[in-house]
Every structure is written in structure tokens, then in C-alpha cells.
Structure 1
Amino acid sequence: MTIDGHASEVSWDKAEWTNLFIDIEGDKKPKYDTKVKMLWDDEYYYILAKMEEPHVWGDLKQRDTIIFYNNDFEVFIDPDSDTYNYYELEINALNTVWDLFLTKPYRDNPAVLNDWTLTGLKSAVSVDGTLNNPNDTDKGWMLEIAIPFAAYKTSYFHKNVPVDTFWRVNFSRVNWQHDLVNGKYKRKKDSKGDFLPEYNWVWSPIGVINMHEPEKWGYVYFSSKAIGETDSFEIPKDEKIKWALFSLYRAQRAYKNEHKVWASNFNDLNNSEIVIDGETLKPSLENHSTGYNISIKSPFSGKTIIITEDGTLKMKP
């Protein structure tokens, strides 16, 4: 694969587009279309993003600056689906990169490693129109990315190439309203001089304006079948148990914000049983000196799945 932003390979022709992105908060239709294709081989996870945009612009050129202050495309990856130790990649129309590693979501006070580098990353941009030229109307821009599996040795200690398995992934497109200042594109401000809020368009909706809820990201399945061949993937039932545990985790956080202590029973959380694919599951709640454990014994795998007060997920035989 030649990473040049044009995606002229036959492999890309055979790959299917995702559905069009939607607003991060739900089903609102974005002003401009965004869609993605994905491929993989023994070395790389390939992503092709196509973005409709009548004014392609960017002015951030320094690596690891805050790229979402420009219109950008973002990739979020959690290889082992535990919401901890995940990766974020942001790229603008100038192909300026911000890559970072987060030990956990911002809600749980993570270490954010801005100096982490996605070694071996390849990316390229092509513009259907002109870049930074306000005198015409563009059609959009396309971003081609190759992410090396070897880069995930930082936190992903299993087999690095995921074959017939899934990663938790999400894609986000940040889009700003703009003004022209001395003939140059700038983010638009309101009458008080504050920047207008950005639009956030995503592949897998979060429900709130916060990409850092990894439990709500999508599932990317790395099929061993050839491009164009049909394959099937069903989200594992234990993943659905994790969803339920995170719902209880959020309820606990809301309870503590109001009452200054953790709830000690499920009645306080208005949730004492969970139904998954027809199976009724009863979680257990154990409070301790620094927080709590909520656990569910999976009837599907036999494992006990536990979530703690800081969002840590544990799996026990």
C-alpha cells in the first residue's frame, strides 16, 4: 500500500465505506458528510477518511500541538476493550499529527503522555480543491493512515496483530465555523470574542460531547477473510455485561456527586438486576474503604467481571 492520500489501490476499491458519521450526541445529521474505509495486513491497520468540506483549511504545523483547534480527523483505539491504556491520533488538512497515549479516561484523572510517539505511523492528505484558498469552493479532503501494529506494544501485551478478533475504535471529525481575517481562515467568534463551539461528528455516537468514554466506542473486527468476502461478527455477550457495569459505574458517580458517599445498595441506584439476551443477571456490590467493587458472574463465559470506583475492569475465572 502506498500512503499518498489518493487511495488508488484496488484493495481500497473493494473495501466498503462505513455509514455516514452522525453527531456525537445522537442522530442529528451533520452539515457535511464523513465516511471511512478500513483494511489491515500483517503490519498495519489502514484507515481512509473522506470528508466533504467546501473550505479546506489549516494553520497548525507543529507536531503534538492541539490539532482540534483546526478542522481535523481523529482516531481512538483501545485494543483490549478495558477503557484503560488507549491511544488518540489527530490529523488536520496539513497532515500535522498529534498522537498521545492515555492511561485511562479523563474522568478518572489519567496520565496523558503527549510525548508518546506512534512510531512508524504513515499518513497523507489529498485535497479535492485548494488548501487555504478562500476564493473558491472545495469539495473536500481525504486522509489515508497506516498505523503499525508494533506501536501498540506500549500497553497491549497480547498478540499484536488482531486476527479474527476485535478492537474498540472510534473516529471523530471536528469541524469549526470560520471567518476570514486578513484573507486567512480563522475560527469564528461570537459577539463577546469567544470561539463558537465546534461540531463533533462521529462514527459511533457517545451521547455526550466527550470522546473519552471508551466503553461507548465501536467494534472493529479484523476478519481473516479476503477483501470483499462476507464475514459475520457478533458482539460477545460479556461485552454487554461490561456495558451494564459501566451504566452502574456512572450511576455511582452521579450518586456520589449528590450525596458525597458511594451508594451501598442497588436500590439507591434504581437498578438491581440486568437482562442481557434474555438472561437475568444480579450484580453484587461490595463497598470498601476507598470505593467499591460491582461484579457480575457471566452465565455465558463463566467469568466474573468486576468494575471498581475508578472504572477499572477486571476479569476473573
Structure 2
Amino acid sequence: MASVVTSFDPYAWYPRQYVAQRVTQHLVIDGDVEKEAWRSVPWSDAFGDIQGKDGPSPADIPLTAFKALYDDTHLYICAVLHPKDGLPTEAHFTERNQPIYQKDSDFEVFIQVGYPNEDGSGTTWNHDYKELEINAINTPWNLLMDKPYWDGGQEHSGRVASDPADPLYYEVYHQETATRVLSGQLNHPTHGALWTVEMKLAFSDLWVQKSDTTTPTHQPSLSVPWRINFSRVEKQGAINWTWQPQYRWDPQQNQFRGFVDMHLPDAWGYLSFDQPIIDSTWPAQLAAMCIYYAQRHHQEANGEFTKDVNILILPPHIMDDFRVDIQLGDPDHYVASIVDATGNVHVQIRQDRRLTIVTNRTSAIDQQ
């Protein structure tokens, strides 16, 4: 007899977390990951297949891991990428802001910080996140995604626009990167290389949104964990090893499973500063994202979104601890509000994946 699910534990799906330590000494960015500043800093969990347990066996995945530090103005990241027999380490792009992964072995960083809404209603996530790709000869590609590709997002970068006045232009101004090849050989047909990367990422660059390429309006808060993920790409994307597997709810198969898609910012890990921080809004966020994926599936099957949460394909019992209200706009828009039993946690999700952690609670569902 099949077992009956009687409860749902959202923390079973809580992402990995890495705690960045504060650094007080000056770091020279030169690709040396064994310098004094890094020696006492713990390595992250080793990277695995992007699909996690739903991907190929991890037995033959070479070691890839990162470390992180921070100070008042910058986030520092270093990583080591070990070779694999029979896998070349490709490094051909030499011009900045070229699509590194399409040809070269590639280390990628994805970061999103929460943006305060213009109306002061809360903090927005899943939009305006940053991506940095780099190859073994220190050629970087920086881009800003206004939202994920699946939601109609566009790349903003120096690759797609050269004029700073162009709405699709994006560049960083206070970033430093360096790489080192420690052993092996680049671009050998059968042998790879052991290489390292070191990065200095300015908070001011990470906080800029697409409408302002030079001066951020706020400094990112370090008291709230950021979302972050890392990816190692080989063979033009045929291989993708990541720190945090990209798990999400799949209503078509009625289960959580791994996907080959780095542009799922809701599935990234957490980066906290100085000490671990558990995001108390996580259960509501997870419920909101399950509604988002279920609504997409419902619209694809029926041609419209629904305001009835009971007909959506959702994990059993995930809504037991929440009040849910779905307001429909025109046929292509909705806003779903998820409020916990205490009324202290309120999360909203839209059809374009824009998630808001509401702090100024004036909606009807808060007053029920």
C-alpha cells in the first residue's frame, strides 16, 4: 500500500548556505587561493550535477569548490577547478563580455540581493540579478538579467549594447578578477588543467539596477541573506556542475526535481555574513514559488490562470499553514498573496516570478 503524506516540511527543501567571513586585511587579487587571507576560510561543499539526485552519478565529477570573504565595500570569492581525465580545459575568448560558456571552460557566479520596492511595500526578489562568467585566462562576461529568460527576461550587458545610454547596456566599474593555471595545459585535446579564480565584487556594482548603471540608490543589507549560486560549465553547456542543485516544483510530474537551468533564482543557495541566518520567510516563499509553477502549468493546459488555489497541482499540505488569495488582472496577470497564521509573514508572487516579501501589510488578506 502506498504511504499517505500527512505533513509537508518546507525546510526539507531549504537551500544550502555559505557564511562569508569578514576580512580586515587588504587582498591583492592575483588568483592565489592559498594566500594568508584565505587559509582559515572553509571551502564550500563540492559542486555536483545541476540536477542533484536527479542527474547523472556524481562518481566522476572533479572537485570544484569556492570560498567567500567580505568587507565594508566588496565581496571576495575564490574557487578551485580540478581537471578531469579526457576533459579539455578550453580557454579561447580574450575579449571582455563575450559569451564564455559557448566555447570555453567556464566558472560562473549568480547573485541577487533584495531590492526595496519604490512604494515601500517590501523587498523584491527574482528580478535584476547579476551573473559573472570567467574563463581560465581571466576573460570576464558581466550581465544583468532583468528577470529569468523563461519569464521573458533580457540580458543587459556590454555584449548586447555598447552605448551606456542604451537601456540594455550594463557594466561593472569596481570589479577585479584574476586566474592561475596551477598544472596541466589549456586547450589540449585530451588533458585538462587545474586552475583557480579570484574575484573582488563591489557592492555598488551588485546593487545597481538596469535603470542606473553607475550609482546605486541603496547599499545592500548584510543583515538579510542574499541568494547565490555557482556553476562550472564544460563542453558548451553539455556539462553543468553547480554548488546548489536547481530543484523546483514540477506540477506536470507532481514532484520536486532538478532542472538544467541556472536561471531559477528562487532555487539558488543562501549567502549570509558572519553567521548563519535562517530565512524565516522561507516556507511562505516556497509556497509562493509552488503556486507560480503550478499557475504556469495551469495556464499552459487551460489557456488562463486561476484564482482557485484548490485546483492547482501543488505539493500535499504545503498550504496548510497559510491563507492564500489570488487576484486576477487581465488574462495574462495575477498576484498571489501568501500569509502565515500569525500574520507576520506575507509573501506575494506574480506571473513573471517577481516575489515580494511584504513589510507594509495593507492588503485585504492581512485584514481578514
Q: Which TM-score band (shorter chain)?
A: 0.7 to 0.9
Q: Which residue of 1 aligns with 2:352?
A: 310
Is contact 1:273–1:283 with CA below 8 Å preserved after alignment?
no
Look up the SS of the partner of 2:125 in the other structure: coil
**Any idea what SS the aligned residue of 2:227 has?**
strand
* 2:241 equivalent to 1:201: yes
C-alpha distance in 1, partners of 2:91/2:80? 16
Inter-partner Cα distance in structure 2 for 1:137 and 1:85? 38
Query: What CA deviation, in whole Å up to 9, does each residue of 1:99-153 have, x standing for no partner?
Result: 0011111111123212211211111111122443638955511111110112134
Partners of 1:56 and 1:141 within 8 A in 2: no
Q: How does 1:131-210 map to 2 (within 5 A)?
A: 131-132=185-186, 134=188, 137=191, 140-155=194-209, 157-160=217-220, 162-176=221-235, 198-206=238-246, 207-210=258-261
* Distance in 2 separating the partners of 1:85 and 1:133: 34
Matched with 2:43 is 17
- Residue 338 (structure 2) aligns with: 296
Structure 2: segments with no counterpart, 5+ residues = 1-26, 115-123, 159-169, 210-215, 247-257, 362-368
Task: Say which SS state the counterpart of residue 98 (structure 2) adopts.
Answer: coil
* Cα deviations by residue, 1:236-289 (Å, 9 ceiling, x for unpaired): 22132112101110111011111111123123213498548xx72131222222
| Distance in 1 (alpha carbons) for counterparts of 2:137 and 2:282 | 38
Asked if 1:282 corresponds to 2:315, the answer is no
- Cα separation, 1, equivalents of 2:83 and 2:65: 12
The 1-side partners of 2:41 and 2:342 are apart by 33
1:72-101 residue CA offsets vs partner (Å, 9 max, x unmatched): 000000011610111000001111111001
Q: Secondary structure at the match of 2:89?
A: coil
Tell me if the contact between 2:184 and 2:193 (Cα under 8 Å) persists in the aligned partners: no
Cα distance in 2 between the residues matched to 1:272 and 1:200: 28
1-side partners of 2:186 and 2:286: how far apart? 43
- The worse-fitting range, judged by mean Cα deviation, of 126-135 and 204-213 is 126-135
**Alignment match of 1:219 (pick from 240, 256, 270):** 270
Residues in 2 aligned to 1:291 and 1:164: alpha-carbon distance in whole angstroms? 33
Larger RCO (CA within 8 A; separation ≥ 6): 2
Please state whether the residue corresponding to 1:129 is helix, strand or coil. Answer: strand
**Structure 2 length normalisation: TM-score?**
0.72
Q: Please identify, of 142-151 and 48-57, the stretch whose mean Cα deviation from structure 2 is larger.
A: 48-57
Contact 2:186–2:192 (8 Å) recurs in 1: no
Cα-to-partner distance string for 1:195-226 (whole Å, 9 max, x where unaligned): xx611000111011110010000000011xxx
Greater shift in the superposed pair: 95-104 or 57-66: 57-66
AA at the equivalent of 1:59: H
- Give the secondary-structure state (helix, strand or coil) at the position aligned to 1:237: coil
> Which amino acid in structure 1 is aligned with residue 244 of structure 2?
S
**1-structure distance, mates of 2:340, 2:307:** 22
2:181 aligned residue: 127
For 1:205, give the aligned amino acid: P
Partner Cα distance (2:125, 2:207) in 1 = 16
Alignment: residue pair count: 287
Preserved CA contact (<8 Å) 2:49 2:241 = yes
> Does the Cα contact within 8 Å between 2:184 and 2:194 map onto a contact in 1?
no
Partner of 1:191: none
Separation in 2 of the partners of 1:36 and 1:145?
Answer: 11
**1:313 to partner: Cα distance:** 2.0
Task: Give the partner amino acid of 2:238.
Answer: E
**RMSD between superposed Cα atoms in Å:** 2.3
The farther-off stretch of 92-101 and 134-143 is 134-143
Q: How far apart, in 2, do the equivalents of 1:247 and 1:133 lie?
A: 43
Matched, 1:78 2:112: yes
Give the TM-score, by structure 1 length: 0.83
Q: What secondary structure sits across from 1:77 in the alignment? A: strand
Does the C-alpha gap of structure 1 residues 53 and 301 become closer, same or farther in structure 2, counting only changes over 3 Å? farther
Q: 1:232 pairs with 245, 252, 276, which one?
A: 276
Q: Distance between the aligned counterparts of 2:310 and 2:180, measured in 1? A: 55
| Alpha-carbon offset, residue 303 of structure 1 | 4.3
Q: Is 1:67 paired with 2:105?
A: no
Counterpart in the other structure of 2:365: none
